[in-house]
Structure 1
Amino acid sequence: MSEQTDVDRDAGSTRETVLRPHRHLFMRGIVAVLALTTPVFAVVYWLTIPSNAWPFVLVAHLVVIAATVIGVASFLNTTIIVSRAGVRERGFFGRTVRVVPGEAGAVILVQVYEGSTLDVLPQLFVASRQGRLLIRMRGQFWSVEDMERVAEELDVPVTRPEEPMTLNQLRRAWPRLLYWFERIPFDR
């Protein structure tokens, strides 16, 4: 899902496109939290009310609610903004990454097998000229159209392997683009 906005700057008007993760993930997350916590807290309240220990359960319940609210706010604030000034990502945990024109050295758009299935999802990697990962967009969260938009804006040739890759193949081809825990070989 993306939206376009015109932003007035001192030098004139620039066009920004705001990209957001798939919205269906938001509802799935809320439903999962409710499905997991409601029965648990109902039983714990039922067990602790006779012994007057329910205030401790209430505190724990409030902590879970606060964590859920923080998670919702983080999800709603996760964006990638594409403009002539480059690409700016605000991640789930609040980290902001800016990629200005000319900073990207490589853009790789690859289809990756999911686990031990034949299902594939796209992943976009934006790397610096030194090979350091700048931005990673995973198909679980971002649409292919959004990935293409980011790739177009960076004006760097896009590497598109023809065949889908396993995580092991991806690890061998571009190990520096993976998270630290993905770099550890794991044979199944």
Structure 2
Amino acid sequence: MTTETHVLRPHRHLLASGVIAALALTTPLFAVAYWLTIGSGGWQITLAVHVLVAVVAILAVLQFRRTKVVVSPEGVRERGFLGRVSEIPEREIGALCLVEIYRDNALDTQPNLFILDRAGVPSIRLRGQYWSRADMEDLADVLDRPLVGPEESVTLSELRSTQPGWLYWFERIPLLTWM
């Protein structure tokens, strides 16, 4: 067991991908909007909307940079992207359940770590899209708990039927997750 505090951060490439996608979407859109409004004198509205979009983008980047999981021998504290803080003290942690879930329409899997309380209710979930397997293993090392879970990978549908309470609300509705 380690006595250190570890700060886990989401994959860095997610921020770069998000910024590139936002620029790819907004640059041509605003270029056309400026081109259409410069001659008619309505470019000030376009500029105001452009500034508003830039401010929202900057706020999103700041929120991403504040997203983290702090793990210490005392427990786990997660600050999510939207600012939600989830916390579970070490004494209330029942199990660390690592489940390999098949990605949609693919043969590869992604790890999902569910931190369950003593009643088996998930308090915090780390999804492989955002957190590395090494981070999940570090979390287990710091808390000095074994990673348990099914030996076989499961589909989201299987997890939905066996442990629906472990999933986010939108994952419980098959129609919303087929895409």
Question: Given the two structures, how large is their TM-score scaled by the length of structure 1?
Answer: 0.87
Q: 2:61 aligns with which of 72, 79, 89?
A: 72
Q: 1:128 aligns with which of 117, 123, 144?
A: 117
For 2:31, the equivalent position in structure 1 comes to 42
For 2:90, the equivalent position in structure 1 comes to 101
For 2:14, the equivalent position in structure 1 comes to 25
User: Residue 44 of structure 1 aligns to which amino acid in structure 2?
Assistant: A
**Aligned partners of 1:71, 1:185: CA distance in 2, in Å?**
28
For 1:137, the equivalent position in structure 2 comes to 126
Query: Residues 87 and 153 of structure 1 are in contact (CA less than 8 Å); yes or no, is this contact kept in structure 2?
Result: no
For 2:5, the equivalent position in structure 1 comes to 16
Q: Structure 1 stretch 173-182 or stretch 152-161: which is displaced more?
A: 152-161
Task: Report percent identity of matched pairs.
Answer: 50
Query: Residues 127 and 177 of structure 1 are in contact (CA less than 8 Å); yes or no, is this contact kept in structure 2?
Result: no
For 1:58, the equivalent position in structure 2 comes to 47
Q: Structure 1 stretch 150-159 or stretch 133-142: which is displaced more?
A: 150-159
Task: Identify which of structures 1 and 2 has the higher relative contact order when contacts are C-alpha pairs closer than 8 Å and 6+ apart.
Answer: 2
- Structure 2 segments unaligned to the other structure (5+ residues): none
User: Residue 114 of structure 1 aligns to which amino acid in structure 2?
Assistant: R
The structure with the greater share of residues assigned to strand is: 1
Q: Structure 1 stretch 149-158 or stretch 78-87: which is displaced more?
A: 149-158
The structure with the greater share of residues assigned to helix is: 2
Question: Given the two structures, how large is their TM-score scaled by the length of structure 2?
Answer: 0.91
- Structure 1 segments unaligned to the other structure (5+ residues): 1-13
